[in-house]
Structure 1
Amino acid sequence: MVVAAKLGLRLRWGALAALVLSLVSVQLVARGLTSPLRAMARAAEAMARGEHGQRVPETSRDEVGQLAAAFNVMAAELETLDRARRDLVADAAHELRTPISALRAALENAVDGVQPADLPALLAQVERLGRLADQLLDLSALEAGAVALRRRPFPVGELVAGRDVALEAPADLLLHGDADRLLQVVDNLLENAARHAPGSPVVVRAQPAGDGVRVEVEDRGPGLPPGDAERLFDRFARADRSRTVAGSGLGLAISRSIVELHGGALRAEPVAPHGCRMVLELPGAR
């Protein structure tokens, strides 16, 4: 009887110890599973307050670890978008300030009787503001994919029709895309060349390239500063920061968005000994 009692006591203590060990193990496992989730919850709350630099540790390779990795990717993208939004607002405010200041000064002088209003100059500033607003709306719609393209085959010569510029291209070369939008791109490139390389001859070339068409707009101006070939396509970017150049700095950003919407590419290349070549890779008409 005594032996049986001792054995029963040991079994009960053993069962109790196993139960306690099981509870501790479950608690540790639960803590290990929920700790990354709690970290993500805290990071999400911070991001909701605008703190987009939040990241969570990726401590495992299971589903929770994959979720943490995806959360970090999302956080990085949100941080990039938020930085781009802030930069866009700051740049747009800077660009708007110049014509608004000119208008205010001219109108104050006219009201005070210091100087009569120069109506053509005032109209030019108002038109500048209108162009900037239109370009911002255009760029926003393009980047959101909210622009419908009216694609059709058309001869490459339509891109320079009515422009005083030389075209070197096969007469039967066809593009396939929205002619109005692609004409907008070439107009931007030609105006950019005329602005930064006044008096320089500008040549437009087009030739087949695989299943598409390669279009080049080349000038013999001062060329590109080192490292600026890609920065040119940023919003409000200018090749020469040391001088004031007419234009909003949105033309090349809009042009690249239009070309990419067609499934093409737009890039800048230096020309030896000096000059700049804008290269468009566009779909051709088969």
Structure 2
Amino acid sequence: MPDVRPLDRLTSIKVKLGVLVAASCAAASFATWVGLAVLEWWPRYALPVAVLLALGVTQVLAHGMTSPLRELTAAARAMARGDHARRVTATSRDEVGEAARAFTHMARQLEQVDAERRELVANVSHELRTPVAALRAVLENAVDGVAPAGPDALRPALAQVERLGDLVDELLDLSRVDAGAVPLHREPVRLADLVGAAVDGARLSGRDVTYEVRVEPADAQVLADPARLHQVVANLLDNAARHSPPGGVVTVTAAVRDGGARLSVLDEGPGIPLSERERVLERFARGSSASARDGGTGLGLAIARWAVELHGGRLTVADAPRGCRLDVDLPAAAPARGGAA
């Protein structure tokens, strides 16, 4: 039967049912009048014809009304089989049409989530394969006697274990992102102390970069969770150091003005094109200039943005004459008075 929907313009299922009943009664009455008054049929002939005509009108109108429901049922069954690409044609403006549009929106979201899940599995597998393969090579050389199990041979293995540990930590943070809000323990934090501690930790990585720090004013504070904010700065410094050339300079500036605090990290790397600035803040995203050897997992900036947004702030990629500059904007804290606020 053709999918005819003459009642789609009506905005209520109750009105549609009323129109269906009225149309059926009108068709039956008209057929009865024609049969008795015009054609002069006997009632036993005119009444069955009137009933059949009323049933036909009801079938046509009801079929159009229930078409979205049949599509919803078929799409739901397909989704249960794992097919998230099915969509429901929602042409009506009543409650059924609203349900069809809501279902289509849900199907798009589930399709996106499923794609992200597959991408997550693929990316984690790739990130795990590299350090595991390197560890296996080092251990096989030690077992086979190719290389002695001394510091020079074990140092690369330790580096790969540390890389695996960093990946596990980032995956745990990612699970916290997916779990929802994380409670923050806010207190006034001096930016100079926070940035200094993060830079000291970054220097331990042994990368051939120099760090320059400027904080204005020297006693600038923000109201934040110290651990989470340290994680943000550490991730930004790690990202900057990985993309800086040997002997490069990473500049960290922090300032409080206009009722807010801005912390910026600038490197001397290749920078990020304007078209990729939003994408690089997503999970497992890397800029077009990133290489497989930079040691990044593609999670650091996404986790940093999540932690910044927990504080009600923003993480953005800003314009810079050279390299990449990442800006963290946070609400400033009032001066502490005798302890944490």
Q: Distance in 2 between matches of 1:11 and 1:171?
A: 101
- Equivalenced residue count is 279
Partner of 1:246: 295
Shift of 1:120: 2.5
2:281 aligned with 1:233: yes
The partner residue of 1:264 within 277, 289, 313 is 313
3-state SS in 2 of match to 1:278:
strand
Q: Does the 8 A contact of 1:215 with 1:280 survive in 2? A: yes
Q: Distance in 2 between matches of 1:228 and 1:55?
A: 30
Report matched runs for 1:1-286 at 5 Å: 10-117=42-149, 118-162=153-197, 163=199, 165-198=212-245, 199-209=248-258, 211-239=259-287, 240-242=289-291, 244-272=293-321, 274-286=322-334
**Cα deviations by residue, 1:99-145 (Å, 9 ceiling, x for unpaired):** 11111122222222322342222222122112101111111212321
Aligned CA distance change for structure 1 residues 225 and 43 (closer, same or farther; 3 Å): same
Aligned CA distance change for structure 1 residues 252 and 93 (closer, same or farther; 3 Å): same
Q: Distance in 2 between matches of 1:231 and 1:133?
A: 23
Give the TM-score normalised by the residue count of structure 2.
0.75
Q: Does the 8 A contact of 1:143 with 1:257 survive in 2? A: no
Aligned-residue RMSD, C-alpha: 2.3
Q: Distance in 2 between matches of 1:170 and 1:14?
A: 96
Q: Distance in 2 between matches of 1:45 and 1:26?
A: 28
Q: Distance in 2 between matches of 1:121 and 1:155?
A: 37
Q: Does the 8 A contact of 1:154 with 1:175 survive in 2? A: yes
Give the TM-score normalised by the residue count of structure 1.
0.88
Moved more, 56-65 or 213-222: 213-222
Q: Does the 8 A contact of 2:250 with 2:265 survive in 1? A: no
Partner of 1:3: none
3-state SS in 1 of match to 2:96:
helix
3-state SS in 1 of match to 2:76:
helix
- Structure 2 gaps of 5+ residues are 1-35, 200-210, 335-341
Q: Does the 8 A contact of 1:160 with 1:167 survive in 2? A: no
Q: Distance in 1 between matches of 2:193 and 2:59?
A: 73
Aligned CA distance change for structure 1 residues 281 and 143 (closer, same or farther; 3 Å): farther
Moved more, 179-188 or 139-148: 139-148
Higher CA-based Rg: 2
3-state SS in 1 of match to 2:275:
coil
Q: Does the 8 A contact of 2:72 with 2:100 survive in 1? A: yes
Kindly provide the amino acid, as one letter, of the partner of residue 235 in structure 2.
Answer: N
Q: Does the 8 A contact of 2:220 with 2:256 survive in 1? A: yes
Q: Does the 8 A contact of 2:243 with 2:290 survive in 1? A: no
**Cα deviations by residue, 1:9-65 (Å, 9 ceiling, x for unpaired):** 544433323322222222223322222111111111111221111111112111111
